Every structure is written in C-alpha cells, then in structure tokens.
Structure 1
Amino acid sequence: MTAFRYMLDTNAISEMVRNPDGTLADRVKAAPTDALCTSAIVVSELRYGLRKRGAVSLARRVEAVLGEIAILPYDTPVSFAYAQTRDALERRGQPIGYTDLFIAAHALSLELTLVTANIREFSRVEGLKVENWLEAGP
C-alpha cells in the first residue's frame, strides 16, 4: 500500500492553475505533500488540452503545478480495476467517459480518494471514494 491518500483529478489540477488562492488550492496546501498524487492519465488529459489550445503561458503554469505532485504510472493492477469497473458500469447501464473510467480505475486500484468536482459521474463507480475540494470543507 502506498502513503498516498488522495488522487487529484483533471478538474482539480485545472482549478489549482486557474485559482491558486482558491478553496481547492488551500486544501492542497494544507494536506501533507506525500498524501497527494495524480494519475499519468490526468497528466495526459491536461497535456492534450494544452497542446490543442497552444497556450504556452498556461502550459508553464500547469507544468509547475505538476512538478509539485507525484505522478503515478498506469500499471497492470490498474488494467484489472479498469476491466472490472467498466464491466460493472455497463451491466448496470451506467457507463462513464473512458478517460474518467481510467482515472477511477487508477484510484480504485490504489484505494485512494479521488479529489474531483465531477462527483455525479464518479459516484457511479462502486467502491470509489470521492471528495469535492472545490467546495468549502473541513
């Protein structure tokens, strides 16, 4: 088991870049550094968005934030969690987007809480712990 407790979703990191003094950024700053991580899937999604937009100054800000967070690789246990989660969601007729499915599987495989504003989508994933740090919290 890893020391990490929280995996930051794409929208959480985007919010930190957009609003470095906001509620989410404050919660990230208050958390122990070794408790936070993100997925290589999230990083891929962020870098794709930056490339598509061609926003050089924004890219520098995103990379600066990413430089402060552990980026976990997609590995074999994630692939098993992905297969199980996708099958369960499709059997219930409640699929979620493929990128979100990969991110959910990554968090599930490591038993991490996913920090996201997309509670509605991720709450469909059985066993996945989710928290919205964009809302004022404890």
Structure 2
Amino acid sequence: MMLKYILDTNICIYIAKENPIQVLERFKSLSPGIVGMSLITHAELLYGAAKSNNPRKTKQLVSQLTELIPVLSVDNNVAEHYADIRASLAKQGKIIGNNDLWIAAHVRSKNKILVTNNEKEFCRVEELTVENWCS
C-alpha cells in the first residue's frame, strides 16, 4: 500500500490509549502501509516515555506502536522544507513549536496528509494538508 497519512504525536498517543475511540477506529479501518509517523514524532513519544512514571513500560508501548505505525526517516529534502516554512512563518510574524515545524516540514516534503488534533498550529503552514480524525 502507498503511504497517505503521517500522524502527529497527539494522534499516536490517542491510538495507543484507544481514546478517543473514533481515532482508533479510523486507524484500524485503513490498510497497512497507509499510515506512518515522522522520526520527530517517534522522538517525542520516546521523550514522553523517558519522563513518565514507568519509563520501561511506556517505552515498550512506544515500541509496540512503531510496529503498527512505521517510523519515517528524515532526509535533506525535509531540511529544505524546514528552512522554507520557518522563513515564511517568521516573515508573517507567526510561530509554531520547533518540533511541530520539523513534523510539518517532513509531511510537506513527502506531499502527504498530516493527521493532528492541533490544526490551529499546523494550519499556519502553507501547502500542508491537515486532517483531524477527532472531529
């Protein structure tokens, strides 16, 4: 199957927690290979696990999640998109979080759809297609 969606960190967490249920149902309705996560999202999930009350157990959950959702590596094209997006937002006086900026660059460089529950942040990025499975 062809990759179509790249999931933001919050969506990966919702899938892991099986809440909200409609996110999990949407994910389960898709064929394998349609969905991936950015290396940046993977790093955020690992960071969350490291600072959790039970790092070993939480890291194991992250590992199980990455068996379902492949982690996409970053290449030089992502850096080009990062620079373009960051410069464009700076000129407009808009800011988004640094990791969100990298995730946006990764998704846009692959010309895929970002699935997030943080549309407010990501809608500032031009030429980035965003979908929310929570609404």
Superposed CA offset, 1:34-81 (max 9, x none) = 111110110001101110114232322222111111111111000000
Paired residue for 1:38? 37
2:121 corresponding residue in structure 1: 121
Q: 2:109 and 2:20 mapped to 1: Cα distance? A: 31
Query: 1:88-114 CA deviation, whole Å, 9 max, x = no partner?
Result: 001001110000000000000000100
Distance 1:134 1:61 in 2: 22
Code of the residue aligned with 1:9 in structure 2: it is D
The question of whether the paired residues in 1 share the 8 Å contact of 2:20 and 2:134 is answered with: no
| Rounded Cα–Cα distance in structure 2 between residues aligned with 1:54 and 1:43 | 19
Q: Which amino acid in structure 2 is aligned with residue 100 of structure 1?
A: D
TM-score normalised over the length of structure 2: 0.93
User: Aligned partners of 2:19 and 2:32: how far apart in 1?
Assistant: 16
Cα root mean square deviation, aligned: 1.5
- Cα distance in 1 for partners of 2:62, 2:120 equals 25
Say whether the 8 Å CA contact 2:52–2:58 is kept in structure 1: no
What is the number of equivalent residue pairs in this alignment?
A: 134
Q: Sequence identity of aligned pairs in percent?
A: 35
Matched residue of 1:130: which SS? strand
CA separation of 1:21 and 1:90: change in aligned 2, threshold 3 A: closer
What is the letter of the counterpart of residue 130 of structure 1?
V
Q: Which runs of 5+ in 2 are unaligned?
A: none
Alignment of 1:59-74 (within 5 A): 59-74=59-74
- Counterparts of 1:8 and 1:21, CA distance in 2: 15
Paired residues of 2:14 and 2:20 also in contact (CA < 8 A)? no
Q: Tell me the residue number matched to 1:107.
A: 107
